[in-house]
C-alpha cells in the first residue's frame, strides 16, 4: 500500500517504523489532522518521519491541573508550611493568596506550564480555575486567553472552581454562573461538608448550574472517613437521578482510601452504578482510593498532576507518564498488565471521563500522538523515556522534549 490512504488521497504525513501498544510495527498516515491509515507498508506522504521502532501512544490526558496556580515560569518560591499540624484546605488557600500577589501574571505562568505539558506528550488538559469574589473572573479570562493561544497544540477544558467555598462565600454562585456563560465547560465544587458545612446546599448549586448550562461536574473532595463516603454516596445519588452518568467526576476522594475495605466497596458500587468517575494523583503523603478496588467495581478511574510547583507543593513537571508511574508505584502495580492500567488512567479512561471524542491510535481519530523511546507500554511507564515527537491534530507541536508550536 502506498502513501495514498483510504479514498486515494496522498497523506500529509507518514510516520514509518511506528510501534503500537499491541506490538505491531506499522506506518501511520495522517491527512487533514486525522489518522487516515495504519498499515505495515504505508509510505510516500508529503512528509515522512522515520520513528525507528519507537512506541506511539495516543496523546496523554492530564485530567486535573491548575493552570492559574502554578509558579512555573516565575521565580522559585520556597514552600511555606502551614501552622496547622494537619492538612487544612483553607489555610493553604490563604497562603496561596498571599504568594500569588507577588507572582507573575496568570497568563504568563499558565503559558509556561502548558508548554511544559505539551513537550511531555500531553494533548488534552482539564484545568480548574479559581472563581471567587476576590479573584472575580480575572483568572478565568487569563486561562481562556491561554486556551485560545495554544488551541493548535492542546485542548483545554476549563472547570469553574469555587476554592473559597460556594454557599459560604456570598456572590460565588453568581460568578460561577457567569464563568460558565463565558467559556468554562465544567462546574467545580469543593468539600461540601468541610468547606461549606452544607452538603445539600453546595450540591444544589453545583448540580443546578450543571443542569442550567448542560455542563459536566468535577468536585474536589478531601473530606475524610464516613463523612466523605456519605458525600460520595450523595453525589452518586444526584448523578443517577439527573441522568448524568459519565458526566460527573470526583477528584481525590480521599475517604475511599481511609475507611474499611467493605465500606469503600459499597460506595464504589454506588459510584459505578451512577457512572461517576474518580480522579487520583496518588499523593505521596495521604491515603487515596484503591485503583484496583474501584476498577474491579466498575468505576472509571483517571489521573491528573493536580498542583505543579505552586503554594500547595513544589513538585511536578507536568509529565503524565511520570504520574502514571507514581500511581503504579503507590498502588503496588508490578505486572505488565498492571502497568498498562497505570497508563490507561492517563489515556483511554481519562479521555472517556472527559468526553473526548474519537480518542486513540485508530483510523479516523484525530492524530493526537506522542512518540516515546520505549519498547512497550510497561517500559514507557517505568522509565518515562524522552518524547521524540508530539502531534496535535497531525501538527508537530513538540520535538525532542521541546515545545515548538508557537
What rounded mean pLDDT belongs to the chain?
Answer: 94
When pLDDT is averaged across residues 332-350 and rounded to a whole number, the result is 98
2 pLDDT tier (thresholds 50, 70, 90)? very low
CA distance 99 to 211: 35
Quote the distance between the C-alpha of residue 70 and its chain's center.
15
- What is the three-class DSSP state of 278? strand
Question: pTM here?
Answer: 0.95
Residues 6+ apart with CB under 8 A from 92: 82, 311, 312
pLDDT for the residue numbered 306: 94
% of the chain exceeding 70 in pLDDT:
97
pLDDT above 70: residue 186: yes
Model pLDDT for residues 349-382, shown as the tens digit of each residue: 999 999 999 999 999 999 999 999 999 999 999 9
pLDDT for the residue numbered 5: 55
pLDDT for the residue numbered 219: 98
pLDDT for the residue numbered 77: 82
pLDDT above 90: residue 401: yes
pLDDT above 70: residue 3: no
Which domains are present in the chain?
13-58+358-403 (2.30.40.10), 68-354 (3.20.20.140)
Q: Residue 2 region, left (φ>0) first, then alpha (ψ -120 to 50), else beta?
A: beta
Model pLDDT for residues 43-69, shown as the tens digit of each residue: 677 899 999 999 999 999 999 999 999
When pLDDT is averaged across residues 374-397 and rounded to a whole number, the result is 97
pLDDT above 90: residue 79: no
- Please check whether residue 28 is in contact with residue 366, taking contact to mean a CB–CB distance below 8 angstroms: no
When pLDDT is averaged across residues 195-217 and rounded to a whole number, the result is 98
Residue listed under C-alpha cell 489515556? 347
- Please check whether residue 189 is in contact with residue 220, taking contact to mean a CB–CB distance below 8 angstroms: yes
DSSP secondary structure string, 279-310?
Answer: EE---TTS----HHHHHHHT--EEE--B--SS
Q: Which of 285-289, 328-332, 397-401 has the lowest mean pLDDT?
A: 285-289
When pLDDT is averaged across residues 242-251 and rounded to a whole number, the result is 98
Residues 6+ apart with CB under 8 A from 357: none
83 pLDDT tier (thresholds 50, 70, 90)? confident
- DSSP code of residue 10: B
Q: pLDDT higher for 19 or 8?
A: 19
% of the chain exceeding 90 in pLDDT:
84
End-to-end Cα, the chain, rounded Å: 35
pLDDT for the residue numbered 89: 79
Model pLDDT for residues 105-143, shown as the tens digit of each residue: 999 999 999 999 999 999 999 999 999 998 999 999 999
Kind of pairing between the strands at 34-39 and 276-280: unpaired
Kind of pairing between the strands at 47-50 and 13-19: parallel
1 pLDDT tier (thresholds 50, 70, 90)? very low
Amino acid at each position: 500500500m502506498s502513501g495514498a490512504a483510504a479514498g486515494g488521497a496522498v497523506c500529509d504525513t507518514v510516520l514509518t517504523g511506528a510501534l503500537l501498544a499491541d506490538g505491531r510495527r506499522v506506518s501511520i498516515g495522517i491527512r487533514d489532522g486525522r489518522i487516515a491509515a495504519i498499515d505495515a507498508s504505508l509510505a510516500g506522504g508529503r512528509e515522512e518521519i522515520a520513528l525507528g521502532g519507537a512506541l506511539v501512544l495516543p496523546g496523554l490526558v492530564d485530567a486535573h491541573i491548575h493552570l492559574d496556580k502554578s509558579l512555573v515560569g516565575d521565580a522559585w518560591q520556597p514552600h511555606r508550611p502551614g501552622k496547622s499540624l494537619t492538612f487544612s484546605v483553607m489555610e493553604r488557600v490563604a497562603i496561596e493568596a498571599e504568594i500569588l500577589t507577588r507572582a507573575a501574571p496568570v497568563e504568563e505562568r499558565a503559558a509556561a506550564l502548558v508548554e511544559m505539558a505539551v513537550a511531555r506528550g500531553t494533548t488534552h488538559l482539564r484545568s480548574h480555575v479559581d472563581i471567587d469574589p476576590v479573584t472575580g473572573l480575572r483568572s478565568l479570562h487569563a486561562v481562556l486567553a491561554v486556551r485560545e493561544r495554544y488551541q493548535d497544540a492542546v485542548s483545554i477544558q476549563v472547570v469553574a472552581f469555587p476554592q473559597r467555598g460556594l454557599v459560604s462565600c456570598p456572590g460565588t454562585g453568581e460568578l460561577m454562573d457567569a464563568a460558565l456563560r463565558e467559556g468554562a465547560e465544567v462546574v467545580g465544587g469543593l468539600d461540601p461538608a468541610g468547606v461549606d458545612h452544607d452538603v445539600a446546599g453546595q450540591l444544589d448549586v453545583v448540580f443546578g448550574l450543571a443542569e442550567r448550562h448542560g455542563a459536566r461536574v468535577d468536585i474536589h473532595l478531601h473530606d475524610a472517613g464516613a463523612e466523605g463516603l456519605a458525600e460520595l454516596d450523595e453525589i452518586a445519588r444526584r448523578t443517577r437521578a439527573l441522568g448524568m452518568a459519565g458526566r460527573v467526576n470526583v477528584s481525590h476522594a480521599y475517604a475511599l482510601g481511609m475507611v474499611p475495605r467493605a465500606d469503600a466497596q459499597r460506595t464504589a458500587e454506588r459510584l459505578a452504578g451512577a457512572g461517576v468517575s474518580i480522579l487520583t494523583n496518588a499523593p505521596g503523603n495521604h491515603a487515596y482510593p484503591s485503583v484496583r478496588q474501584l476498577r474491579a467495581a466498575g468505576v472509571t478511574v483517571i489521573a491528573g498532576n493536580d498542583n505543579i510547583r505552586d503554594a500547595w507543593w513544589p513538585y511536578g513537571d507536568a509529565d503524565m507518564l511520570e504520574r502514571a508511574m507514581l500511581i503504579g508505584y503507590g498502588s503496588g502495580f508490578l505486572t505488565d498488565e498492571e502497568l498498562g492500567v497505570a497508563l490507561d488512567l492517563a489515556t483511554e479512561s481519562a479521555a472517556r471521563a472527559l468526553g473526548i471524542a474519537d480518542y486513540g491510535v485508530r483510523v479516523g481519530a484525530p492524530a493526537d500522538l506522542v512518540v516515546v523511546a520505549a519498547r512497550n507500554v510497561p517500559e514507557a511507564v517505568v522509565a518515562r523515556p524522552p518524547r521524540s515527537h508530539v502531534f496535535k491534530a497531525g501538527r508537530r507541536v513538540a520535538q525532542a522534549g521541546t515545545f515548538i508550536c508557537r
